[in-house]
């Protein structure tokens, strides 16, 4: 009998924090960083809890613990036309509207960490909350 030598998968669910994360209109703000080194799939729910739309949402990945983060997804088409690591998405998350919720499912098998960054539009700051789960 042949034994399966693949490592066991862990299942996790995480909330970005107990409240909302402030997202200013200038620059990209880190909203969550996750260790995905033992996951194959990652599901994210992103809630724009503020009064302004996003004008950016970036997904960054790290492939080695000592490596740097690289931008993996940042354009509307990255989310609206799933390909590569994007299994599926609810739509264009780069312009997630005020009070809206979007979701994203990623293939993260080859990654160590994933980080989300966001920016609010020029009309003012907003806030977000992220829920993640994976196996």
Instruction: Kindly report, residue by residue over 75-130, the tens digit of the pLDDT.
Output: 999 999 999 999 999 999 999 999 999 999 999 999 999 999 999 998 889 999 99
pTM over cut 0.85: yes
Q: Taking Cα atoms as reference points, which of 93, 84, 91, 75 lies closest to residue 111?
A: 84
Q: Report d(CA 133, CA 73) in Å as an integer.
A: 19
Within-domain flag for 6? no
On whether residue 1 sits in a domain, the answer given is no
With respect to residue 43, please indicate whether it lies within any of the assigned structural domains.
yes
Q: What total of structural domains would you count in the chain?
A: 1
- Tell me the pLDDT tens digit for each residue of 30-88: 999 999 999 999 999 999 999 999 999 999 999 999 999 999 999 999 999 999 999 99
**75 located within any domain:** yes
- Find the domain containing 24 and state its range: 12-134
124 in any annotated domain: yes
CATH number reported for the structural domain that contains residue 115 in this entry: 2.60.120
Residue 2 lies in a domain: no
């Amino acid at each position: 009998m042949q034994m399966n030598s693949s490592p066991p998968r862990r299942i996790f669910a995480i909330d970005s924090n107990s409240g909302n994360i402030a997202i200013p209109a200038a620059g990209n703000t880190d909203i969550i960083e996750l260790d995905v080194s033992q996951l194959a799939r990652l599901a994210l729910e992103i809630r724009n809890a503020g009064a302004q739309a996003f004008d950016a949402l970036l997904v960054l990945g790290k492939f080695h613990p000592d490596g740097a983060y690289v931008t993996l997804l940042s354009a509307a088409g990255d989310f609206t036309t799933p390909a590569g690591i994007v299994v599926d998405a609810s739509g264009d998350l780069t312009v997630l509207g005020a009070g809206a919720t979007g979701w994203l499912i990623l293939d993260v098998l080859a990654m160590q960490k994933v980080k989300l960054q966001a920016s609010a539009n020029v009309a003012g700051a907003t806030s977000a909350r992220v829920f993640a789960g994976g196996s």
